[in-house]
Amino acid sequence: MNEGRNDSRELFFSPQEEKDFQTVLKEVQEYISSKYSVLILDGGTEEVKTSIKRYISKYVMDYRIKVRDMDDTELIDTLYTEMAEFSFLTKYIFGSGIEEININSWKDIEVQYSGGKCCKLKERFESPEHAVNVIRRMLHVSGMVLDNASPAVLGHLSKNIRIAVLKTPLVDDDVGIAASIRIVNPQSLAKEDFVKGGTATEEELDFLSECLRYGISVCIAGATSSGKTTITGWLLGTIPDSKRIFTIENGSRELDLVREKDGAVCNSVIHAITRSSENEKQNIDQDALLDMALRFNPEIICVGEMRSHEAYTAQEAARTGHTVLTTIHSNSCESTYRRMCTLCKRKYDIKDETLMSLVTEAFPVIVFTKQLENKKRKVMEIMECETKRDGTLNFRTLFHYHIRENRMEGSRFIIRGEHEKVEGMSDGLKRRLLENGMPRDVLARFAGKEVAEC
- Using 50, 70 and 90 to split pLDDT, how confident is the model at 41? very low
Q: Which residues of 244-275 are buried (b: 16+ CB within 10 A; e: fewer)?
A: bbbbbbbbbbbbbbeeeeeeeeebbbbbbbbe
The total of other beta-carbon atoms located within 10 Å of residue 73's CB is 10
Higher pLDDT, residue 240 or 160: 240
| 8 A C-beta contact, residue 153 and residue 146 | yes
Quick check: 371 pLDDT over 90? Answer: yes
User: Reduced to 3 states, what is the DSSP secondary structure of residue 15?
Assistant: coil
CA distances from 185 to 86, 158, 160 (A): 20, 12, 7
Q: Per-residue b/e over 74-100, b at no fewer than 16 CB within 10 Å?
A: ebbebbbbbbbbbbbbeebbeeeebbb
- Mean pLDDT, residues 321-344: 94
Name the region of 10 (left: φ>0; alpha: ψ -120 to 50; beta: rest). alpha
pLDDT of residue 397: 96
Apex 198 CA angle, 196 and 202, nearest 5? 70
Q: What is the C-alpha separation between 14 and 5, in angstroms, rounded?
A: 14
DSSP string, 161-184: EEEEEEETTSS-TTT-EEEEEEE-
Query: What would the DSSP string read from start to end of 179-203?
Result: EEEEE--TTS--HHHHHHTTS--HH
What is the arithmetic mean of pLDDT over 61-82? 82
DSSP track, 30-96: HHHHHHHHHHHHTBTBHHHHHHHHHHHHHHHHHTT--BTTB-HHHHHHHHHHHHHS-GGGHHHHSSS
From 36-45, 57-66, 88-97, the region with the lowest mean pLDDT: 36-45
Segment 142-194, tens digit of pLDDT: 778 888 888 998 877 766 788 899 999 999 998 999 999 988 765 467 899 99
The per-residue b/e assignment along 223-243, b for 16 or more CB within 10 angstroms, e otherwise, is eebbbbbbbbbbbbbebeeeb
Selection from 158, 306, 334, 325 nearest residue 232 by Cα: 325
Query: What mean pLDDT comes out for the span 74-93?
Result: 78
Spatial contact of 373 and 115, defined as CB atoms under 8 Å apart: no
Given pLDDT bands bounded at 50, 70 and 90, which one contains residue 102?
Answer: very high
Query: Within its chain, how far is the Cα of 403 from the centroid?
Result: 27
Q: What is the pLDDT of residue 302?
A: 95
Candidates 93, 183, 75; CA nearest to 137 is 93
pLDDT tier, 11 (very low <50, low <70, confident <90, very high otherwise): very low
**106 pLDDT higher than 90:** yes
Phi, psi of 92 (to 5 degrees): -85, -40
Give the dihedral sign, CA 343/430/331/250: negative
Report how far residue 249's alpha carbon sits from residue 253's, in angstroms, rounded to the nearest whole number. 6
In sequence order, the β-bridge partners of residue 120 are 110
Does this model's pTM top 0.85? My answer is: no
Percent of the chain with pLDDT over 90: 48
- 12: pLDDT strictly greater than 70: no
Q: Quick one: pLDDT at residue 167?
A: 93
Alpha-carbon distance 95 to 87, whole Å? Answer: 14
Neighbours of 454 (CB within 10 A): 16
Which own/partner pairs from 441-449 qualify as long-range (CB within 8 Å, at least 24 positions apart)? 442/210, 445/203, 445/206, 446/203, 446/206, 446/207, 446/210, 448/424
- Indicate whether 13 pLDDT > 50: no
DSSP letters, 240-267, are -TTSEEEEEESSS-------EETTEE-S
Looking at residue 275, the DSSP 8-state letter turns out to be: B
Whole-number average pLDDT of the chain? 85
Residue 356 has pLDDT above 90, yes or no: yes
